[in-house]
Structure 1
Amino acid sequence: MKIKASIERIPGGMMIIPLLLGAVINTVFPEAAKTFGSFTGALLTGSLPILAVFYVCMGATIDFKATPYIAKKGGALLAAKVGTAVVLGFIAAKFLGEGMIESGFFAGVSVLAIVAAMNDTNGGMYMALMGQFGKKEDVGAYSIMSLESGPFLTMVTLGVAGLSAFPWETLVGAILPLVVGMILGNLDKDMRDYLGKAVPVLVPFFAFALGAGLNLQNVWKAGLLGVLLGVAVVAITGIVLFAADKLTGGNGIAGLAAATTAGNAVGVPAAVAAANPVYEPLVPSATALIASCVIVTAILAPIVTAWWAKRIGVNSNTAQ
């Protein structure tokens, strides 16, 4: 059976399918974790420990020895992506505060959902698109952009937006696994190779655990709204990233390729709520919205990127 190949035919499949499977189990059998306990219960409720390991392994893949071009390009795209999330978070906070819209079509929208969806780029998608339409240095720029990964910058953004501040210990705790991984990976190339291989393996496990905290009725409600949020990510961050790419000597392709939502962003609301309980009521709706965003941006961003590449006369045969 071609299970892995079948899952990967779906954009973000290794994230989305386990997430939905966990949600199905929780919807049909909400007491499963308590009933089975032990390792099964831990797997159904243990997204945070798995995410912690994921960020250590992710950090190990980040190379301190980035070339000046990679640092400039990656830094510009990182600043543009996070800066956009900060501005939108600040604006949304004026209307939503720390809560969410409770009724109507936009029920479930919160600053947490908006910021988490906007903050983090789908690295696999970006590198695949740049491998086809860009230069190898543009692919390497993700080594800088991957600093977006995890809840740290989302926490900072929420604080900048005037919402609940996080104590410095919590902020350090949010970024420490990534930093530890970065140190290990840069001190020892073998450790980088060893830990880096675990990154894709861990994705379906924390996705399943996150899904086990969702109810499919809420995911269904988030469907169309999640689609619109995904379109907004591509459109809004795409414009800003396109400009940042052009300003650093690019042709705009790298900017458009970065206008996505990373699969691991689905775990950010739960991580943020673990650091500050005021956000706990927002986790189910924010997680469902971001899960929809992952799929939508994974479909739209390649279409937009390929269209622009064709428009300016760049294709997989002529890319440098």
Structure 2
Amino acid sequence: MCKMKIMKTVEKVPGGLMLVPLFLGALIQTFAPLSGEFFGSFTNGLLTGTVPILAVWFFCMGAGISLKSTGIVLRKSGTLVVTKIAVAWVVAIVAAQFLPEGGIQSGLFAGMSVLTLVAAMDMTNGGLYAALMQQYGTKEEAGAFVLMSLESGPLMTMVILGSTGLAVFEPQAFIGAVLPFLIGFILGNIDPDCREFFGRATQTMIPFFGLALGFSIDLGVILQTGIAGILLGVAVIIITGIPLVLADKFIGGGDGTAGIAASSTAGAAVANPMIIATMIPEFMPIAEAATALIAASVIVTSIIVPIITAYWSQTMKQRNRPGDQQMVGKEGPPSSL
């Protein structure tokens, strides 16, 4: 019997566990938009159940986070998380002065809005960061992804939009957005068995909400975001990367490598525009295009950030080895690994 390496193939795609099902859902929506209604029942729930699927995912994510972390991990985590959120907050204030209140709704940059920019910039791809720091950093730096999980979900995007006056959320909306996460977090920390049991489901849920998110997107919109999506991804790396490098060097005690590794867009950010649009209908006209733009940013940053991180790490290590610098002039540059 022929065995297919589907999982390994999907994992080779940057952010593939999220993005491959998302594009599959977009294909279904584009060519068979009535599939959910036609089949009904569980199939319809699977294709249209973005919110309940995400609710379970947030709960399991919270359950998987442990309070037991070293001071170094907390320092590094706090520095990167606060910097990323602060940069997104500043971007929101500045962008609000230039972009229409409802965002750009047509043309090459359709979907570009304050919501799009904030959602793309305020969340780091924790899995990508941890993998990079395991290779180019220390165990403590790799462990910094623990607090990065707190960025996940729409809460910080809501806080930024609300604090800048760009959106008004009722208090219960904030509580409702974070409550599943908090309940999971509490359970996971009072009972290690709960943390282990629910924590295992975090990765499992990703393809399911990716599929449901994709089913809300017309593939034509994704194709239209080509250039804009690439530019958004590059902008995320530059605009968040520079402050993150400086914060890592002067506050976190690192050499900037962790800052570069954190300058990505999280796959979970793809869900934020649609979730927030359900709370504030004014965002609904741009939510679909914003979702596609952020999906493109996830891909772009997932490809570029590892390359820049590797180059930066190698450069920093060479600078910190004076003996190697002296040998360069006599025997040529040291061989790269």
RMSD: 1.1
Q: Deviations over 1:137-196 (max 9, x none)?
A: 111111112110000000011112221210111011111111111111111111111111
Q: Deviations over 1:22-78 (max 9, x none)?
A: 000010011111111111111111011000000111111222222221111111100
Contact kept, 8 Å, 1:257 with 1:301, in 2: the verdict is: yes
Contact kept, 8 Å, 2:63 with 2:184, in 1: the verdict is: yes
Task: Give secondary structure in 2 for the equivalent of 1:185.
Answer: helix
Partner of 1:306: 310
Deviation at 1:91, TM superposition (A): 1.1
Aligned residues: 314
5 Å-filtered alignment, 1:63-212, equals: 63-212=66-215
Contact kept, 8 Å, 1:97 with 1:163, in 2: the verdict is: no
Larger Rg over CA atoms: 2
Counterpart Cα distance in 2 of 1:158 and 1:96: 14
Task: Give secondary structure in 1 for the equivalent of 2:194.
Answer: helix
For 1:312, the aligned partner's letter is M
Partner of 2:40: 37
Is 1:57 aligned to residue 60 of structure 2? yes
Counterpart Cα distance in 1 of 2:313 and 2:98: 38
Same amino acid, percent of matched pairs: 51
For 1:191, the aligned partner's letter is C
Counterpart Cα distance in 1 of 2:91 and 2:245: 17
Deviation at 1:18, TM superposition (A): 0.4
Q: Deviations over 1:185-208 (max 9, x none)?
A: 111111111111111110000000
Task: Give secondary structure in 2 for the equivalent of 1:313.
Answer: helix
TM-score with structure 1 setting the length: 0.96
For 2:161, the aligned partner's letter is L
For 1:77, the aligned partner's letter is L
Counterpart Cα distance in 2 of 1:161 and 1:209: 30
Deviation at 1:97, TM superposition (A): 4.6
Contact kept, 8 Å, 1:98 with 1:279, in 2: the verdict is: no
CA separation of 1:97/1:158 partners in 2, compared to 1, >3 Å: closer, same or farther? farther
Mark the runs of 5 or more structure 1 residues left unpaired by the alignment. 315-320
Partner of 1:280: 284
